[in-house]
Structure 1
């Protein structure tokens, strides 16, 4: 049966986030579309990047150290890890790759530049996610949907955040105004007004979530992240440094907005450390201040851009940040008396670690359905975009009609 004629699919979703820690893969069974979509998660796995590959990605993401050759080669290297993650996930689900109807792959962001800039006399905006979807389709013998951000940006949008479509499909409520907070490398926030439709939600990136915390853990403690927030728990946030940080340009920028390593990567951490050391802060105090920066910037974004029109009744959190007990405690204190819970606490909720991988399974499914998933009220695009391009495997893979569209 042609791919676009199906109402039911087994779809794998892949997410490689700005934390650069590896590939998340979810196997889903999807039926229907939009708010009528039924989502069953059959399996979820995390496949870590080899350390040397993570370092290459980090280097390629920094303009002063990147090489066009390295970026081009990473584009062909990363599908190897994506395919490995898929095979791990289908094994976990007791399936085979040929049981998949479709794969949705976000790719690994190398640069995200949503703000207009002049290039040779023309104004452009752009984004680059490495992980060639054609190579992945060839390796798996399954159609792959990739390049999810570009169609929205071609329509003048930010191309991000992408999570609000899934937030609306799975978590919209007639009776409760909900905040959906994802804590990956970057934090993004979605408000779902009670009884509202997709046109009523708002969403944007609030700033760093784990990105600055992880970088400091690596530099100060030779750890890839702060385990359970234990280093931050031993310190005290510095109020003056925190106040200065919260006056940063990005935090004062109104939505629509999105960000990444370009704003909160190595250069930002260098400056953070310079100011912290000038105040003689201990390593633990630096970690506590960086952790508080995430919590405070999320709440500030809510108070400044959401609360004037919508008062949240509950905050539901997903992403790797849910494992940082100190961060979750700081968020709870910031939002009190509004409860802060996990997405898994909702009826029909999703594992906080799996949510973004499930997102790209859903977006791929809707791309094959011909359904626009771009939200102009979120990204600023001129109209809703059908997000993602479909990349077919070679005809000799044995997929037969499953590879047709």
Structure 2
């Protein structure tokens, strides 16, 4: 038998697998690396986060990636080159991190790599007859597998689309397996570049469980800071937005996108919520002369408004869940303040209280999806509409 398939069969039979989850988000700040021990599968999944870190990208790589991501006029040669370059870089960063942690690569069973999203195009966004939902991530899995000598599972979103989904958000699988609880209704709110949440009813009814994007998380705020505040990549601790005041007229213009009238579940990305989107909203509202701090404060409020409206829509009949935060937005004090004002009486916590570092949650999710690919079985998520979790493509080392 081919030794690589023999290795796969051995991994399937293991009671516990050591899996590294890799996540690189739309903020382009760096590579999240989560070292996990995962036992079982499905509702019997048990995850221990052993180590976690974020390795920052250098400024030159960020600029290269900004030249190709979320753009319709991408340089195809640069895109092709970056697919290989980022895969090889991620392999090196994994090996360097394992050395720092004093963990031997031979002790790692699998690497689960999300890759770097360069364009996300659900049909609701592109609107082109005859074309399906689509998404594209780069950072080739074969380069990671060969570079590390570790079996790698990557490109998770394509199976979701092939089976009828939009390729995102995929958090429903990990959220359902790890965080469902009969004692309380839960909303697992992740505020990354895009804000999304999973609703977990206490009754565990999969017909009521769903995961959805709701609109911009940090992406518009980050893009605005990068364009208008030299040397800064984001508004640390809301220092800039805290000096301004949100503007109702601009806020109303920002809320006009047809995306907000779509039902759940739905997906979106920085392809829609871009600086062009902001510019057009300012033109319509006659707010082009606003102070930069006021614009940033308005973008902050905008994120809070779309999150609060979406969560409130799920609970129009009364009652509110406990909201568990993860993602970079949970570190934004003004955003937290806005959310608390718009959702009075709601209890906000973080996934740290559930045993998972909230900064590591997305990387852990892809480790879990790799585990399901190896050891899981079909699972029906009702409204989510995708009766499978075996996502990802396998790349063997040499």
Structure 2 length as normaliser, TM-score? 0.92
Aligned equivalents of 1:87, 1:234: Cα separation in 2: 42
Instruction: Sort the Cα spacing of 1:220 and 1:273 in 2 relative to 1 into closer, same or farther, 3 A.
Output: farther
- Structure 1: gaps of 5 or more residues: 395-405
Gaps of 5+ in 2: 1-6
Separation (CA, whole Å) in 1 of partners of 2:127 and 2:39: 44
Matched with 2:291 is 282
Show CA shifts across 1:315-355 (max 9, x none): 111001111111111111111111122111x2x42111111
Partner residue in 2 for 1:246: 255
Deviation at 1:30, TM superposition (A): 0.8
CA 133–310 in structure 1, closer or farther in 2 if over 3 Å, else same: farther
| Aligned partner (choices 231, 240, 265) of residue 256 of structure 1 | 265
* Cα distance in 2 for residues equivalent to 1:232 and 1:266: 17
Residue 281 of structure 1, CA deviation: 1.6
Please give the alpha-carbon distance, in whole angstroms, between the structure 2 residues aligned to 1:273 and 1:377: 36
Give the aligned partner of residue 106 of structure 1: 114
Give the match for residue 98 of structure 2: 90
SS of 2:123's equivalent in the other structure is strand
| Conserved? CA contact 2:173–2:389, under 8 Å | no
Deviation at 1:277, TM superposition (A): 7.0
CA distance in 1, matches of 2:193, 2:318: 26
Where do residues 208-227 of structure 1 align in structure 2 (5 Å cutoff)?
208-222=216-230, 223-227=232-236
1:292 maps to 2:301: yes
Distance in structure 2 (CA, Å) of the matches to 1:32 and 1:183: 28
Q: Does 1:367 align with 2:367?
A: no
RMSD: 2.1
1:387 aligns with one of 364, 367, 391: 391
On the 8 A contact 2:378/2:390 being kept in 1, the answer is yes
Deviations 1:95-143 (A, max 9, x none): 1222100010000001111217798x84432211001001110001111
Alignment of 1:331-350 (within 5 A): 331-344=339-352, 346=353, 348-350=354-356
CA distance in 2, matches of 1:45, 1:391: 24
Task: Find out whether 1:325 has 2:329 as its counterpart.
Answer: no
Q: 1:352 is matched with which residue?
A: 358
Question: What residue is the counterpart of 1:312 in the other structure?
Answer: 320
Partner Cα distance (1:91, 1:330) in 2: 42
Q: Is the 8 A contact 2:150 2:396 kept in 1?
A: yes
Alignment equivalent of 2:39, drawn from 23, 31, 37: 31
Helix, strand or coil for the counterpart of 2:271? helix
Contact 1:46 1:85 in 2 (8 A): no
Indicate if the aligned counterparts of 1:181 and 1:315 stay in contact, CA closer than 8 A. Answer: yes
Partner Cα distance (2:361, 2:25) in 1: 12
What is the CA distance between 1:385 and its match in structure 2? 4.4
Cα deviation for residue 226 of structure 1 reads: 0.1
Distance 2:336 2:100 in 1: 30
